[in-house]
């Protein structure tokens, strides 16, 4: 297992962690100022400053990438299917423009939440079939471009509105169906926040193996959690045994970044950017 | 599948659904007034009016029971282990005093939340082992008394603080380990709120079978959900395909009550008791 206590070379900043404190260019400058060597940008933050300017800013700062957030939201009714397809192809192309190592997929829940305006459904099984079909179709384009797709299972509390893929096992079943050869073009993003509770976590990390482990995200689960989406904790402030999960991921050969991704309306989004980044770095050394 | 559209004989009222509107005696009187034939009382509501008085009130009203809420909270440090054990034996005895068909077990999460004052831990695997040991020990007493134990898997968002058994599969693994003969003394409480998202839901209902399906609870998952604990929806107001789940449970031979259990600080706990019960009955006929 790598020793993170001496430096923060392995830390990547998911730019949503400080999304309220500045635009993407300001975040890139702050990351560079703190010696952070990699980021994972969000599409809406990229769009706000323009793709070309974002790519140039990251290149000028010498930043690497741990992923690009995000594609997905596959379930849709017929009237919204083409928009979903085009949107995902653009996400692949943007990830390529940055030279990101993977496009993270948040697959979507029921169609009325995944692609608003779609006819309402309670059939989560049908949504799951649409997800697998959508990833299969996108994978053709991703292969052409050379952009690996990382399916991110989200916590089951997001099953209705954000992602109906809720366990590593489910994500790996999709990987095995669509990419049986383990080509490296399809895998998972393992975020401790979403998977820490899973009774099958350690066997499924093993099942994923090096070829399927495309990204590793960290934050913490707070008790109490005051909001389903935006009350994620700084590493060390919650109950997740982060180091044991990292050990398992690294035991499979994963040697990529630990990407810090914290949505925190009530706490970290209210603090100065430099304080947040300093704390991320300190906790990366002591807790991750 | 049973036809619920004509009457509400199969409806049971979990008394937490109207816990803010009156004490247990008032709830029993209201249930009787609305022709509700069964309830599932909570221990704190029973304690508030006294066990003898609660038993007498239920008997006078001619009520049956769908379960007794609740035993569990097994994880504890050594200093709190005996209190946990005694508390659970008392819960079994109280359930027996009512003549309830099962004691529902909410098994507890990490020890510091399960039995406050216990030393803090992040080891959810150890908590899960304590749960299995605790149920095994309680089962001896439950067998002596003749009170079946129903393990209720809770949604993974409660894994840290309320229950580290989060899927039917996990609960059934415990059942198979402790009661391989399927004696009827150990099974599960299947609550649609906690299990609707599970990709393995239908196979696991089949695996449970008639002997393990001791209780069936209904409410709905709202989008958005504004609070992790107390924003559960009235049946029909959310995204759960309740009828398909009931069909699967009944296909295994389950012919017990549909227990309505809604924790709703912002909505149903604010409304008059009679309005809540009228709505439960109407939705039981049209949605459950």
Check CB contact of B236 with chain A, cutoff 8 Å.
no
Rounded percentage of chain B residues whose pLDDT exceeds 90? 100
Distance from CA of B248 to the nearest CA of A (A): 15
CB within 8 Å: A124 and B241: yes
Compute the distance between CA of residue B100 and CA of residue A84 in angstroms, rounded to an integer.
52
Compute the distance between CA of residue A79 and CA of residue A90 in angstroms, rounded to an integer.
19
Check CB contact of B177 with chain A, cutoff 8 Å.
no
Distance from CA of A263 to the nearest CA of B (A): 16
Partner residue opposite B156 with nearest CB, options A113, A197, A241 = A197
Compute the distance between CA of residue A199 and CA of residue B198 in angstroms, rounded to an integer.
13
**pLDDT tens, A61-101?**
999 999 999 999 999 999 999 999 999 999 999 999 999 99
Extract long-range pairs of B55-59: CB within 8 Å, 24+ residues apart.
Answer: B55/B97, B55/B98, B57/B24, B57/B25, B57/B28, B57/B29, B58/B28, B58/B98
Would you state the pLDDT for residue B245? 98
CA A68 to chain centre: 8
Check CB contact of B128 with chain A, cutoff 8 Å.
yes
Would you state the pLDDT for residue B146? 98
Which DSSP symbol is given to A120? P
Whether the CB-CB separation of B214 and B101 falls below 8 Å is answered with: yes
**pLDDT tens, A5-64?**
999 999 999 999 999 999 999 999 999 999 999 999 999 999 999 999 999 999 999 999
**C-alpha torsion angle, residues B13, B16, B17, B21 (rounded to 10):** 110
> Which pair of structure tokens corresponds to residue A228?
């389903």
- The helix (run of H) or strand (run of E) holding residue B12 is strand B11-14
Compute the distance between CA of residue A199 and CA of residue B166 in angstroms, rounded to an integer.
8
Tokens 């830390």, located at residue: A11
**pLDDT tens, A150-167?**
999 999 999 999 999 999
Would you state the pLDDT for residue B144? 98
| Mean pLDDT, rounded, for B58-79 | 98
Give the three-class secondary structure for A188: strand
Chain A and chain B share a number of CB contacts under 8 A equal to 71
Q: Rg of chain A's alpha carbons, rounded to an integer?
A: 18
**pLDDT tens, B188-236?**
999 999 999 999 999 999 999 999 999 999 999 999 999 999 999 999 9
Chain B environment of A223 (Cβ under 8 Å): 113, 160-161
Whether the CB-CB separation of B94 and B127 falls below 8 Å is answered with: no
Classify B146 in phi/psi space as left (phi over 0), alpha (psi -120 to 50) or beta.
Answer: left
If pLDDT is split at 50, 70 and 90, which confidence band does A222 have?
A: very high
Give the three-class secondary structure for A279: helix
Would you state the pLDDT for residue A9? 97
Q: What ipTM is given for this predicted complex? A: 0.97
Q: Dihedrals φ, ψ of A108, to 5°?
A: 95, 160
Q: Which CATH architecture has domain B11-286?
A: Alpha-Beta Barrel (3.20)
Cis peptide upstream of residue B261 (ω within 30 degrees of 0): no
Helices (H), ranges, chain A: 24-33, 43-49, 51-60, 78-98, 111-114, 124-145, 168-178, 192-195, 201-212, 242-251, 273-286
Check CB contact of B124 with chain A, cutoff 8 Å.
yes
Distance from CA of A274 to the nearest CA of B (A): 29
CB within 8 Å: B157 and A157: yes
| Mean pLDDT, rounded, for B59-86 | 97
Would you state the pLDDT for residue A188? 98
Compute the distance between CA of residue A141 and CA of residue A88 in angstroms, rounded to an integer.
10
> Which pair of structure tokens corresponds to residue B160?
């840290």
Check CB contact of A123 with chain B, cutoff 8 Å.
yes
Q: Dihedrals φ, ψ of A199, to 5°?
A: -60, -20
Would you state the pLDDT for residue B207? 98
> Which pair of structure tokens corresponds to residue B2?
């049973």
Interface with B, mutate which of A113, A168, A199 (most B CBs under 10 A): A199
Would you state the pLDDT for residue A6? 96
| Mean pLDDT, rounded, for B253-258 | 98
- The secondary structure of B215-282 as a DSSP string is EEEE-B--SS---TTTBPBPTTSSS--HHHHHHHHHHTT--S-EEE---BTTTGGGS-HHHHHHHHHH
Chain A environment of B123 (Cβ under 8 Å): 241
> Which pair of structure tokens corresponds to residue B218?
């209904």
CB within 8 Å: B196 and A124: yes
Chain B environment of A239 (Cβ under 8 Å): 110, 122, 160
Give the sheet arrangement for strand B258-260, strand by strand. B64-65, B38-40, B11-14, B258-260, B213-218, B186-191, B149-151, B103-106, B68-72
Would you state the pLDDT for residue B195? 98
Residue A51 contacts by C-beta under 8 Å, 6 or more apart in sequence? A94, A97
Would you state the pLDDT for residue A123? 98
> Which pair of structure tokens corresponds to residue B100?
């309830």
If pLDDT is split at 50, 70 and 90, which confidence band does B60 have?
A: very high
**pLDDT tens, B263-276?**
999 999 999 999 99
Which DSSP symbol is given to B42? B
Residue B210 contacts by C-beta under 8 Å, 6 or more apart in sequence? B252, B253, B254
Q: Residue ranges per domain, chain A?
A: 11-286
């Amino acid at each position: 297992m790598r020793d993170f206590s001496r430096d923060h070379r392995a830390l990547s900043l998911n730019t949503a962690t400080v999304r309220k404190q500045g635009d993407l260019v300001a975040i890139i400058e702050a990351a560079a100022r703190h010696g952070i060597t990699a980021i994972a940008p969000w599409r809406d933050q990229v769009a706000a400053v323009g793709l070309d300017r974002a790519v140039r800013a990251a290149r000028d700062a010498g930043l690497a990438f741990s992923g690009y957030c995000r594609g997905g939201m596959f379930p849709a009714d017929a009237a919204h299917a083409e928009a979903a397809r085009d949107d995902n192809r653009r996400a692949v192309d943007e990830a390529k423009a940055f030279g990101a190592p993977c496009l993270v997929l948040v697959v979507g829940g029921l169609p009325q939440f995944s692609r608003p305006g779609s006819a309402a459904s309670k059939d989560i099984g049908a949504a799951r079939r649409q997800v697998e079909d959508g990833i299969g179709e996108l994978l053709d384009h991703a292969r052409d471009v050379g952009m690996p797709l990382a399916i991110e299972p989200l916590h089951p509390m997001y099953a209705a509105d954000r992602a109906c893929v809720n366990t590593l096992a489910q994500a790996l079943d999709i990987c095995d169906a669509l990419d049986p050869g383990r080509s490296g073009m399809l895998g998972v993003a393992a975020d401790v926040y979403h998977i820490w509770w899973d009774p099958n976590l350690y066997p499924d990390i093993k099942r994923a193996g090096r070829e399927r482990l495309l990204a590793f995200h960290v934050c913490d689960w707070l008790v109490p959690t005051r909001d389903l989406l935006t009350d994620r904790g700084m590493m060390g402030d919650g109950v997740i045994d982060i180091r044991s999960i990292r050990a398992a991921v690294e035991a499979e050969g994963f040697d990529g970044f630990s990407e810090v991704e914290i949505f925190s309306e009530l706490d970290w989004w209210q603090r100065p950017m430099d304080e947040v980044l300093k704390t991320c770095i300190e906790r990366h050394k002591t807790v991750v």
